[in-house]
Amino acid sequence: MPPLTIGRLVPAWALLALTSHASNAEPLPPGFVRLRELAPAIAQDIRYATPFNFTSAAVPGYGRGECVLTRIAADALIRVEQRLARQGYGLKLFDCYRPARAVAAFNDWGKRPDAPDRGRIFHPGIARGDLVANGYIAANSSHSRGSTVDVGLVRAGETALPTPVDAGPCDGPPATRPRESSLDLGTSFDCFSEKSALRHPGVTAEARRNRETLAAAMAAEGFRGYGKEWWHFTLAKEPFPRTAFDFVIE
């Protein structure tokens, strides 16, 4: 069966670039794919490949900003994009497969008080040492199994926004927090705040509607959400439920 694709034309130069990258990259483990090669129209801003994240540095294991997933999760995500497109929306991926070494680096960062920290943006009001205890940093992450995504909602066809370089608190007013979409989701991605909970009563009615739109589309294609983070979803029938991978994204 041919791979699912998004119903949008891709310029010839983009296809050439994708083919060139695919031929130069290291082969992925069996069962994994690069989402961009199946659905180049789905927006990606893989944050841990950039310095704009809570550690203030690119994270070990992210040699390139690419969404890598198990094939079954990628196909399901493409169906989510198609479902949302009929409602005038689309997806924006912030993280997909996460190497186990990146998870270890997060935990090490949490224990080092001298490490760089963008706490004023990503965990305002919560001490770095409390992030693990509060469930914001996991000792073992479902992302390393390859079927979990961190994803936001955008308007279909909207101009892609660049990775931010600075901002105010992630749970502040939309005009001051990291700008990721023209839609209000209540907080920005990776916001270690109570307001990131899917049904937190302290966000606007618009933000609640947008969160529910995203959650409903993901659930319809087999993804389960995480109540404390509106952006976090794991495929219920993941193919590697007990395997943490550690290959580098490149």
Distance from C-alpha of 110 to C-alpha of 115, rounded to nearest angstrom: 8
User: What are the counts of helices (DSSP H) followed by strands (DSSP E) for the chain?
Assistant: 6, 7
Return the structure tokens found at 154: 């955008």
Distance from C-alpha of 68 to C-alpha of 49, rounded to nearest angstrom: 13
Annotation marks residue 81 as catalytic: no
Note the Cα 79 to chain centre separation in Å: 17
DSSP E strand boundaries for 139-236:
148-155, 223-226, 229-235
* Catalytic-labelled residue, pool 81, 180, 229, 238: 229
Residue among 205, 136, 193, 150 at smallest CA distance from 168: 193
Catalytic residue positions? 229
